[in-house]
Amino acid sequence: MPNFSSPAWPIASRIFASLVGGYLFTWGLIAIVIAALIPLGVEFHDAEMGMLMLGLLVYLSLFLWGMATDKLIWLWLILFGGGVAMTLLASVVQQSFLQGI
């Protein structure tokens, strides 16, 4: 049983949320934007490359924010909640686009 009152716990939670949550959020963002841009007629590799370049910078910013913020609850909610929501939405958008053609 981990000792949640140990001083190592908040920092471990913060690192985990910033690294993994930040990654998940970035993944979701990349996925949803690509999935949304293709039906709008943007070339596939343009959308992909543009989002990868942007995604790396977004991930970096999220990570730095996560390491510094006071609001750990928000950190968890936004990164994991937002990440999962955008990832799921991306799959839905993709499916409805591919079905429509």
Partner 1 sequence: MFSSFRQAMAWLHTWFGLTLGFILMVVFFFGSLSVFDREIDRWSIPETRFEPQVMPSFDEMLLPILRSVEPNEEDYNTNMPLLHDTSQGPMTPRTELPADEFWAYTTHRDPVLIMGVGFRVPQPLDPEGHNHIHGNITIDPRTGKALPDDQLKIGSKFFYPMHFSLNWNWNRIGIYIVGIAAFIMMAALVSGVIIHRKRFREFFTFRPTKQTQRSVLDLHNLTGMVALPFHFFFTFTGLLIFASFFFFPVTHTQLEPLHKYHEMVEANETGLPHDRAGVPTDMASIDAMVAKAKQRWAEKDMPGEVGFLQINHVDDANSYVSIYRAGSDRVALVGEGMHFNGITGELIREEPPRSAIAETEEFLTGLHLQHFEHWFLRWLYVFGGLVGAICIATGFIFFVEKRKRQHTLQGSSGSQVVDALAVTTVTGMLVATVSMLVANRLLPAEMVGKGYWEQVVFWGSWGVMLLHAFWRSSAVRHMRISPAWREQSILFAVLAVAAVILNWITTGDHLLKTAFHYWPVAGVDLSLLVSSAIAIYAARFLKRRENVAVHKAIEFSAQNLEASRG
CB contact at 8 A, 32 and 93: yes
What residues make contact with partner 1 under the rule CB under 8 A?
Answer: 10-11, 14, 26-27, 30-31, 34-35, 38, 43-46, 48-53, 55-56, 59-60, 63-64, 67-68, 70, 87, 90-91, 94-95, 97-98, 101
**Tokens coding 8:** 């190592």
Query: How many Å apart are CA 35 and CA 58, to the nearest integer?
Result: 18
Q: What are phi and psi of 69, to 5 degrees?
A: -65, 150
Query: How many Å apart are CA 83 and CA 64, to the nearest integer?
Result: 17
Least Å distance between CB 11 and partner 1?
Answer: 7
Of 43 and 74, the one with the shorter C-beta distance to partner 1 is: 43
CB contact at 8 A, 55 and 7: no
Of 2 and 45, the one with the shorter C-beta distance to partner 1 is: 45
Least Å distance between CB 42 and partner 1?
Answer: 9
Least Å distance between CB 14 and partner 1?
Answer: 7
